[in-house]
């Protein structure tokens, strides 16, 4: 009885191994299989041979985004001390140049700052003269070292205060080196620090403002970016230096060329990455930061063989072409680099080049015959 059980077990294992082996052989067989076909069958199936053409395929992907300004190109003009807006010299949308008058600010704090500076300058000069006098006395032993050190410390304190006040004057737009007892100004001119457009005016004439209140906002449009969003599947196709053609807003016929300059490295909540582009020519009249845009990027793939879609067939998650052989047609595995509706860019797997002639029409019929032959076996 024990011998019978053992024999049955060996028989089951043998059948199982044979079935699994047949499946593996059938999967691998397509990589180098020969389909026997007569000349009459080839004519009836409409098989056509042709020469594979070397070349490449380009494809276009569409990305969407907006026109944006980098943070360094948004300028907010403020005044470091409180005051009153005496005049406003610009309007929203106006183009201004560097150094152009934006507004005039007046106020008591401005006058008091100048008074404090001039008084401190006088005190500093007096402290310095006293220190020089005490040093001369110390050389003749006519005063003590303690008095000399006190005079030196006071002179240094006055100089520090004077330097600090001079910097505060520069911050409000006044030159301390040109100030005198009779040139105290009641108002200062706020000037544009760069060329750009006035985005907004946040004050009115006669308005009292606190320190650092945003008076005017400017935008420097010399470095406007086209910021596109790319998803994970599109990232491998993008690289800096690629040219894009953008359509902005409701003017799809107006096209603007740009170039990819940087590609982000982190995904945001929408699972996309920012792609920053520079316009080759920025149209100040029609384009504005904040506008929506769509852009086409042309992707050039590496060279290979450009075949019609009818020449390439799929089996077991692999791609094949057929080439004529003795008594029929043999399969050649290929790798697909790019694909369109009617064309496929391929390279052969395990060989340097495709044969001079391959099946360009009727490949699917050959595949069905190959599969049927495998099933019959």
Asked if residue 89 is part of any domain, the answer here is: no
Is 75 part of a structural domain of the chain? no
Asked whether the predicted pLDDT for residue 25 surpasses 60, the reply is: no
What is the domain extent for residue 117?
A: 109-185
Q: Is the pLDDT of residue 376 over 60?
A: no
32 pLDDT band, cuts 50/70/90, is: low
Note whether residue 324 is domain-resident: yes
3-state DSSP assignment of residue 284: coil
Q: Same domain for 113 and 175?
A: yes
Average pLDDT score, the chain: 85
Q: What is the pLDDT of residues 285-309, one digit of tens each?
A: 788 888 899 999 988 778 889 999 8
C-alpha torsion angle, residues 277, 283, 284, 289 (rounded to 10): -40
Total domains in the fold of the chain: 2
**325: which strand partners?**
328
Any bridge partners for residue 333, and if so which?
320
Decide which of 185, 214, 232 is a domain's last residue. 185
Is residue 90 one of the residues assigned to a domain?
A: no
What is the mean pLDDT of the segment spanning 4-9? 39
Q: How confident is the model at residue 12 (pLDDT cuts 50, 70, 90)?
A: very low
Are 114 and 180 part of one and the same domain?
yes
Within a domain: 307: yes
The residue out of 144, 161, 185 marking a domain boundary is 185
For residue 100, name the pLDDT band (cuts at 50, 70, 90).
Answer: very high
Mean pLDDT in residue range 106-110: 93
- Residue 191 domain-assigned (yes or no): no
Rounded to whole angstroms, the Cα distance separating 25 from 344 reads 28
Domain boundary among 135, 150, 185: 185
Could you tell me if residue 158 is inside a domain? yes
Residue 340: predicted pLDDT: 78
Task: Please state the rounded mean pLDDT for residues 337-350.
Answer: 86
Q: How confident is the model at residue 374 (pLDDT cuts 50, 70, 90)?
A: low
For 56-78, write each residue's pLDDT tens digit: 877 788 999 999 888 888 999 99
Q: Is residue 40 part of a domain?
A: yes
**b (16+ CB within 10 A) / e for 99-125:** eeebbbbbbeebeebbeebbebbebbe
Contacts (Cβ under 8 Å, ≥6 apart) of 146: none
For 141-180, write each residue's pLDDT tens digit: 887 888 889 999 999 999 999 999 999 999 999 999 998 8
- What is the CATH classification number for the domain harbouring 38? 2.40.420.20
């Amino acid at each position: 009885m024990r011998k019978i059980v053992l024999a049955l077990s060996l028989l089951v294992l043998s059948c199982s191994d044979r079935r699994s082996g047949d499946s593996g052989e059938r999967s691998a067989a397509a990589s180098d299989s020969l389909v026997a076909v007569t000349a009459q069958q080839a004519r009836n199936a409409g098989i056509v041979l042709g020469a594979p053409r070397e070349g490449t395929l380009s494809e276009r992907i569409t990305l969407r985004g907006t026109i944006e300004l980098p943070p360094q190109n948004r300028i907010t003009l403020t005044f470091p001390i409180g005051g009153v807006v005496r005049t406003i010299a610009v309007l929203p949308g106006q183009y201004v140049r560097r150094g152009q008058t934006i507004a005039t600010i007046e106020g008591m704090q401005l006058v008091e700052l100048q008074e404090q500076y001039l008084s401190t300058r006088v005190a500093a000069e007096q402290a310095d003269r006293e220190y020089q006098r005490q040093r001369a006395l110390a050389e003749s032993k006519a005063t003590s070292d303690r008095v000399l050190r006190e005079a030196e410390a006071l002179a240094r304190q006055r100089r520090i205060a004077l330097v600090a006040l001079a910097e505060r004057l520069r911050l409000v737009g006044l030159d301390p080196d040109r100030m005198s007892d009779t040139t105290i100004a009641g108002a200062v001119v706020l000037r544009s620090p760069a060329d750009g457009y006035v985005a907004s005016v946040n004050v009115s004439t006669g308005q009292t403002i606190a320190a650092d209140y945003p008076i005017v906002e400017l935008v420097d449009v010399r470095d406007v970016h086209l910021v596109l969003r790319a998803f994970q599947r599109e990232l491998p196709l993008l690289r800096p230096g690629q040219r894009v053609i953008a359509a902005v807003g409701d003017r799809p016929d107006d096209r603007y060329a740009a170039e990819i300059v940087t590609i982000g490295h982190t995904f945001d909540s929408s699972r996309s990455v920012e792609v920053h582009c520079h316009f080759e020519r920025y149209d100040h009249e029609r384009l504005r930061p904040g506008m929506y845009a769509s852009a086409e990027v042309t992707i050039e793939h590496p060279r290979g063989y450009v075949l019609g879609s009818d020449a390439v067939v799929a089996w077991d998650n692999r791609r094949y072409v057929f080439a004529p052989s003795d008594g029929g047609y043999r399969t050649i595995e290929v790798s697909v680099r790019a694909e369109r509706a009617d064309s496929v860019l391929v390279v052969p797997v395990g060989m340097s080049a495709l044969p001079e002639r391959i099946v360009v029409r009727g490949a699917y019929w050959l595949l069905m015959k190959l599969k049927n032959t495998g099933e019959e076996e």
